[in-house]
Amino acid sequence: MKNNKAKLLAVAVAMGMSAHASAAIELYNQDGTTFSADGHFNAFYVHTDNDTTGDQSRVRMGFLPNWIGFNVSKQIDDLKVGGRSSFWVTINDGGGTSSATDTAIDVRQFYGTVDGDFGQVLFGKDFGLYARSNIFSDELLLGTGLPQINSGGVTFGNISVGYPYATPSAQITYRTPVNNGFQLAVGVLDPDSGETAGQGDEARFEAEATYATEFDGGKFNAWLGAATGESNTDGGSVEGIAYGARVSMGGFQFTASGFDQEGISQVLADATVASNQDSDGYLVQASYAANGHRVVLSHGETEVNGADSQEMQTIAYFYDINSNLKLIAEYDQAETGAGVETDQFAIGAALSW
């Protein structure tokens, strides 16, 4: 249980880690070698009203924990070698314990890269490929999302009510060069059975194809991901597809994504369940941004084995004080498959560089 909580501590930032690496603070640049750092801090006042547990008010982190990351790269002839390490920290005591220093530090990323005309090879620990763009494209990444009452970790965004979490895993991944907007990533990842003895004895394979283009006054992105492997529960085959698209015009942005899978947890995309367990879901979002203001409307649902779905609807407001600092207000209304409803109001700030 403690290990599962650690896995759920964090997700990537709204546009992926590469966006933050480009905005990082450069600490060293000499003889073809660069070293930079980036980071993120956030905290929210959160009030929840749950049908079962009643009211609760807290000061806690949101969907993203706080992190600091380091990036290194060096050009050597025709190859560019590099790497990234990032350390993610909860600001809340874990699991309701009384320890004054029980704040977990989790390593989300620790990988090396080799880039050339052939594309890129990544080896180490990074976010998974399956459902990666579903979560990276969530407009609530800098907010809160699905309430987690009495939790010492993050809130859940739209995990389990729109997509599974692309859990960071040990992997070897190849990415092609971008060609006319298309790029393909394929990888072999440490399977769920790599942690505990069980039925599965095969590695896990994941892939994602992405497409991006610009048109007069706007942008369009689309993606299709897949995963295959063996269930650590019964040894049967597991598989899943994840997909989505985004269109941006002027200040408006519309995003729709979904997934359909067998034998994969609806919460953690790297975790397997019984191979005959089906789950599927979708997330639709619309936003408008102008003059530093952004309003987001969001609705997501996930259904497991055809049972009653879990769902959440959200309205959120983001205000850019400057390029690094945001103020955030959010209202979430969630319903679990057991019919338990939770209302949540959150207001806070996020600082990143």
Q: What is the CATH number of the domain that holds 226?
A: 2.40.160.10
Q: Tell me what the mean pLDDT of segment 25-44 comes to.
A: 95
Structural domain including 115 reads: 2-352
pLDDT at residue number 194 = 63
Side-chain-facing half-sphere of 349: CA atoms under 13 Å: 8
CA–CA gap between residue 225 and residue 243 (Å, rounded):
6
pLDDT at residue number 100 = 61
pLDDT of 58 higher than 80:
yes
Q: What is the pLDDT of residues 67-88, one digit of tens each?
A: 999 999 999 999 999 999 999 9
CA–CA gap between residue 149 and residue 340 (Å, rounded):
13
Closest alpha carbon to 75 in 20, 31, 27: 31
Determine which of 13-17, 190-194, 258-262, 334-338 has the lowest per-residue pLDDT on average.
Answer: 13-17
The answer to whether 300 touches 162, Cβ cutoff 8 Å, is: yes
Q: Tell me what the mean pLDDT of segment 50-75 comes to.
A: 93
Q: Where are the alpha helices (DSSP H) in the chain?
A: 2-7, 17-22, 132-136
pLDDT at residue number 306 = 77
pTM for the predicted model, two decimal places = 0.89
Beta-carbon neighbour count of residue 315 at 10 Å?
A: 13
Burial class of 216 by CB neighbour count within 10 A (0 to 12, 13 to 18, 19+): exposed
The DSSP-derived string for 106-122 is EEEEEEEEEEETTEEEE
Q: What is the mean pLDDT of the chain?
A: 89
Q: Tell me what the mean pLDDT of segment 293-317 comes to.
A: 94
pLDDT at residue number 18 = 37
Q: What is the pLDDT of residues 163-177, one digit of tens each?
A: 999 999 999 999 999
The DSSP-derived string for 42-108 is EEEEEEEEETTTEEEEEEE--SS-EEEEEEEEEEETTEEEEEEEEEEE-SS-GGG---TT---EEEE
Confidence of residue 95 (pLDDT cuts 50, 70, 90): low
Confidence of residue 192 (pLDDT cuts 50, 70, 90): confident
Domain count for the chain: 1
